[in-house]
Amino acid sequence: MKHRFRTHFILFFVIVMMLVGCGRKPKLWVLETNVGTIEIELYPWVAPKNVNNIVQLTKDGFYDGKKFHRVIQGEVIQMGGFDRGSKSMDVLDYKIPDEINPKDLKLSDELIAQYEESGYEFNYKVRSMPLRYGVVAMANQGPNTNQSQVFIVTNPDGLQYLNGRYTPLGQVVQGTQAMLQIDQAKTDSFDEPLDEFYIMKATIR
């Protein structure tokens, strides 16, 4: 009995150390939407500046009332720029740089050079993850233009062709049912849902 307890304790300790070790403790971003709650783990070691920005905006109440304004079924759902019932986009007075490590994403030297020529500046100190299913990443308008908008990948195969151009932040860990309900929304010609899907309350835990 003591041996079994010791083994379980060691396994538990190892798992905790893997998650927390070297300061690698995720932050939980909880989005209470009108169709259910989506829980997202944010990884500071993946994109420290961008995660800190999301955390601060959330604490300021910025995301409360924000709608999912862009849905491409089976690809992405996007939010963080428009309030519910509004057509006017929130534009912040600052921009957060990209935090992307192309080597972690296994991009070829040729593709890295191509992206750098177009203005991307890569950060080899962060640990990037590919844009797989359920990954949350910063939406942008080009290199180093991150502000408040994010998208969630809903393509089961991921969006590998976008790797290297968008900063990943974290991963959906609960609430895929709500995520997929939004993903199935009927949209207009601008990819905006005909029915509003929005965040009632966003918190960091």
Domains in the chain: boundaries: 23-204
Beta bridge pairs of residue 30? 39, 203
Beta bridge pairs of residue 152? 77, 136
Q: Tokens in use for 3?
A: 């041996």
Q: Which CATH class, in words, describes the domain spanning 23-204?
A: mainly beta
Residue 204 Cα distances to 43, 61, 88, 103, 160, angstroms: 13, 11, 26, 30, 29
**pLDDT tens-digit readout, 119-177:** 999 999 999 999 999 999 999 999 999 999 999 999 999 999 999 999 999 999 999 99
> In the prediction, which pLDDT does 14 show?
43
Q: How far apart are CA 137 and CA 155, in angstroms?
A: 14
